[in-house]
Amino acid sequence: MVLKIILIALLYYPLSIGLTFYQKWFIKNYKLPLFVVCWHYIVKYFAAILIRFLYETFHKKRIRLHFKEQLRWLAPIGICASLDIGLSNWALEYVTVSLYTMAKSSSILFIVAFSLLLRLERWRPALGLEAALIAIGLFLFTWHSSQLDLTGLLLVELAASCTGVRWTVSQLVMQREEQALNHPLDMVAHVQPWMLIPIVPLIITFEGSELSYENILYFNGQYAPVQIAVLVACGGLLAFCMEMSEYLLLVNTSGITLNIFGILKEVATLLLAHLLNNDRLSSVNIAGLVLCLLGMALHGMSRKRQRSRPGSPKDDSRKLLLVDDTDG
């Protein structure tokens, strides 16, 4: 089991870090980030559907969910995931990778909050300490930073709040006792259509005036529709693989373990950003980074100890997801 988790993590890290830098580079040359993200959703959906079709051709039929249950459980995941990804990509237009990574780290605060709200977590004084360390660390990281852009920071924080809802509800769905929807491929296939719902209004609102022939089909000032299609498809497939690895980690470990892996990824991303993009980190920023990571580490260890205790409570709402393999 440990070896399996390590192998999944080794898959997750290069995919996640690679996608961050790939999108950062791409949207610097193609100024329609939300439009690109929308096509990523479509690429991910058809990739999942194709793999499911091939599987069902040679094996048994995979799970289908009632629309009512999709609306109850998967719609919040899809809508929040879409806003998370869309706002994150939009924020990369305004902030550096370093600032984006640290600001997005505050998502653990939202995960804690929604875990308390959904009774996945009990309030403990340690939670207050962990949250305070992360919040103070984030404040110090952005204090008097010449790289700080208020619009970008706000977008990242909105994305972080969506992250909290996304992974908390995903944990409820994937780790329930019936294990009806515990395969990453099925999650990706069911969630993607819901992800299109919020991204389309965002595109119309914020990029509608820019959706011209020249902006869509020109890359770096040159007419390159084939190159754009290939780059968007590659980004979508990269996002598909990363999302699969995230769900694999979630279903094989727990939400807190996924957070710990995310912390390690953030450190690696910051180091790469510093080396590749010459992002500046002052002593105050570094102190904030240390405090933020310390709070996350304490949170991870605390949750791990709690889950290792016998008789830890389980949420009965996980049993409410109904399945019908004959429902389309």
Question: Which pLDDT score is estimated for 296?
Answer: 74
**328 falls within a domain:** no
Provide the number of structural domains found in the chain: 1
Average pLDDT over residues 95-106: 74
- Mean per-residue pLDDT of the chain: 80
Phi, psi of 26 (to 5 degrees): -65, -45
**149 falls within a domain:** yes
pLDDT tens digits, 245-271: 989 888 877 666 676 677 677 767 666
What does the alpha-carbon distance between residue 26 and residue 251 come to, in Å, rounded to a whole number? 31
Whether 326 has a pLDDT exceeding 50, the answer reads no
pTM for the predicted model, two decimal places: 0.78
pLDDT tens digits, 271-283: 676 667 666 667 8
Residue owning tokens 């890290």: 13
Residues of the domain holding 285: 1-323
Question: Which pLDDT score is estimated for 269?
Answer: 67
* 159 or 6, higher pLDDT: 159
Q: Are 45 and 164 in contact (CB under 8 A)?
A: no
Closest CA to 170 of 89, 67, 81, 45: 81
- Give the 3-state secondary structure of residue 60: coil
Average pLDDT over residues 2-9: 81
Q: If 0-12 CB within 10 Å is exposed, 13-18 middle and 19+ buried, where does residue 126 land?
A: middle
pLDDT tens digits, 185-195: 999 999 999 99
